[in-house]
Amino acid sequence: MACSVTFEKLIVFLRMHLAFACCWPLPPTATKMQITYDKFFRLFNGLHSMLMIYAVAYRIISQYNNTLVIMQLGCVLGTLCEVPLQIYLFTQQHDSLQTIILKMENYSKHANSTERNVIQEYINKHIVIYGITLTLMTVALVAMILVPLILARPVLELEYPFSIDYQPMRGIIYLHQSFALYQVYVQVCATVFLALLLWFSTARFEILANKFRIATEYSDWKACIQEHQELLKFTRQVTFSISHITLSSLGVSTITVVFSGLTFLGRFPMFVKMQYSIICCSSLAKVFLCTWPADHLMSMSCYAGDAAYNSLWYEHEIASQKIMLYTLLRTQRPVIVSVPGLVTALSLQHYASYVSMAFSYLTSFRAMLSNDVD
């Protein structure tokens, strides 16, 4: 099954699946009508999520003295805030992401069989994990939408400054809350889009390492150096484009893990606890699925330098060896996803620290609110 998923099919699937995440840029050939429609589409999704945020905030304000309700809705508010924030950040990086996608598609179109095989190996190796994760998230979304419908209860217990105890208002509120959950779902799934950019960059470094390893002629060796410079520019653009998006995901996920954990430990029905345990696991999985390729990119960018060092660079002239020396020095600095002053490097080590910090906050809040929760 994995072998039938090509790079082109993966791009088409993600473009369709993540339409409401507003993360996929328009092609450079888009018409004025398509650009206008895209702007209104992003505006609609942002305003709808803001409307849902207002409803949750109204409920929190009206129940400010109810600690259990604040814990429960704090998690919801955190996940909802990610929707307009991510849409804004993706819109800000639209032109940059458009250039990146265009380069990816052009590279895939003109890649030779060896290069395509390396990319396909990465797809075959990771498609199962990401596919299972997306499937589980989809099942959880369907359950969270359909179960309240079966039990004749709203998706979220909220208050509104008007009466909703009649039809069709109940149906409108149900559709409104269900669509809000779907918006949160696609923003979580948008992590796969970020992971695709990082895995593609990693695959290109492995391709370059293989070229360095088999280079014997000076022309081949020079072409590898030029490709390394182009690849560094490409990865710099990728990491810059997704750095703040990743930061917002980390911040929102931390809030979600803390409040969903408190909700799970509180005096809530089992159905509610199951809902928020799913949200907690989804938040942790979302961060991991982006951290994993970022960590692998760090390793592979240095691995390309090792392959270059093991090539026959010492058989060329002194001037050529000096050029190679600059390349070797540059490969000593791995390609990282970072936010200056906030995230040093997105890696598995950082993910472990993130999980530890999130559960430390959860423990602290649990101790502070023990009289209300226990």
Check: CB of residue 72 under 8 Å from CB of residue 276: yes
Mean pLDDT of 17-45: 93
Q: What is residue 22's predicted lDDT score, i.e. its pLDDT?
A: 92
Share of the chain above pLDDT 70, in %: 92
Tens of pLDDT, residue by residue over 332-361, are 788 888 887 778 888 888 888 888 887 787
| Residue listed under structure tokens 């507003």 | 22
Q: What is residue 38's predicted lDDT score, i.e. its pLDDT?
A: 94
Question: How high is the mean pLDDT of the chain?
Answer: 84
Check: CB of residue 60 under 8 Å from CB of residue 69: yes
Q: What is residue 220's predicted lDDT score, i.e. its pLDDT?
A: 77
Domain hosting 359: range is 2-373
In the predicted structure, residue 203 carries a pLDDT above the cut 90: yes
Of 147, 107, 134, which Cα lies nearest the Cα of 7? Answer: 107
Between the CA of residue 28 and those of 2, 103, 108, 193, what are the distances in Å? Answer: 30, 12, 17, 19
Find all residues with CB under 8 Å of 169, minimum gap 6, and list them: 163
Q: What is residue 320's predicted lDDT score, i.e. its pLDDT?
A: 67
Tens of pLDDT, residue by residue over 61-117, are 887 777 777 777 888 888 899 999 999 999 999 999 999 999 999 999 999 999 999
In the predicted structure, residue 272 carries a pLDDT above the cut 80: no
Tens of pLDDT, residue by residue over 110-139, are 999 999 999 999 999 999 999 998 998 898
Q: What is residue 3's predicted lDDT score, i.e. its pLDDT?
A: 54
Rounded to two decimals, what is the model's pTM? 0.88
In the predicted structure, residue 330 carries a pLDDT above the cut 80: no
> What are the helix and strand counts (H, E) for the chain?
11, 0
Mean pLDDT of 54-63: 86
Number of domains in the chain: 1
Find all residues with CB under 8 Å of 67, minimum gap 6, and list them: 369, 372, 373
Higher-pLDDT residue of 291, 222: 291
Higher-pLDDT residue of 374, 366: 366
Higher-pLDDT residue of 213, 365: 213
Between the CA of residue 277 and those of 61, 75, 271, 283, 298, what are the distances in Å? Answer: 25, 11, 10, 10, 32
Q: What is residue 2's predicted lDDT score, i.e. its pLDDT?
A: 45
Higher-pLDDT residue of 193, 269: 193
Q: Give residue 152's region: left, alpha or beta (phi > 0; psi -120 to 50).
A: left
